Amino acid sequence: MTKIKSLADLKKMKSDLQSKISLREKSENPEGKVVIRVGMGTSGIASGAKEIMEFLMEETEKRNVDAIVTQTGDMGYSYAEPTVEVKLPDQDPVVFGDVDKKKADNIIEKYIKNGELLDGIIPQNYETIDKK
């Protein structure tokens, strides 16, 4: 592949990019997307959240999982960083703690693809105790 160095180079690659994107868009419907959010607070970053987010972005793309991978602020679970929140379509979000690459792999293969629950889920009611 030719190297892209300037905006002009980028413009030249536009049609190539567009074809790659439109291929995927055919299968897209916004409600059917999985939303994955990686906690990117100080403690998350220090525990390797960046690598986990890059892993999730690459692997969901490679394995054809229709997902949006994005970052979020601190979720307040500093003891369990990196944390990853996964929202499957029509389901409540689930937060996974202490996520390394192996666990991230399981999240994609087991939870997202098959709906199997995994160890290390942070119970949802954990933060709502204060609010009640």
The residues pairing with 86 across neighbouring beta strands, listed in sequence order, are: 36, 94
Instruction: Kindly report the three-state secondary structure assignment for every residue of 65-122.
Output: CCEEEEEECCCCCHHHCCCEEEECCCCCCEEECCCCHHHHHHHHHHHHHHCCCCCCEE
Binding part of the chain for other proteins, among 65-73, 82-90, 93-101, 102-110 by CB under 8 A, reads: 65-73
Q: How far is the CB of 84 from other proteins (least distance, A)?
A: 14
Q: How far is the CB of 105 from other proteins (least distance, A)?
A: 18
User: Does the protein bind other proteins through residue 40 (CB under 8 A)?
Assistant: yes
User: Does the protein bind other proteins through residue 78 (CB under 8 A)?
Assistant: yes
For other proteins, which residue of 33, 65, 66, 70 counts as binding (CB under 8 A)?
A: 70
Considering beta carbons, is residue 58 or 116 the nearer one to other proteins? 58
Whether the Cβ atoms of residue 70 and residue 37 lie closer than 8 Å to each other: yes
Considering beta carbons, is residue 33 or 110 the nearer one to other proteins? 33
- Reply yes or no: is the peptide bond before residue 93 cis, omega within 30 of 0: no
Distance CA 36, CA 45 (A): 16
Binding part of the chain for other proteins, among 36-44, 83-91, 94-102, 115-123 by CB under 8 A, reads: 36-44
Q: Which residue ranges make up the site for other proteins (CB under 8 A)?
A: 3-11, 13-14, 17-18, 20-21, 40-43, 45-46, 50, 53-54, 57, 61, 68, 70-71, 73-76, 78, 127
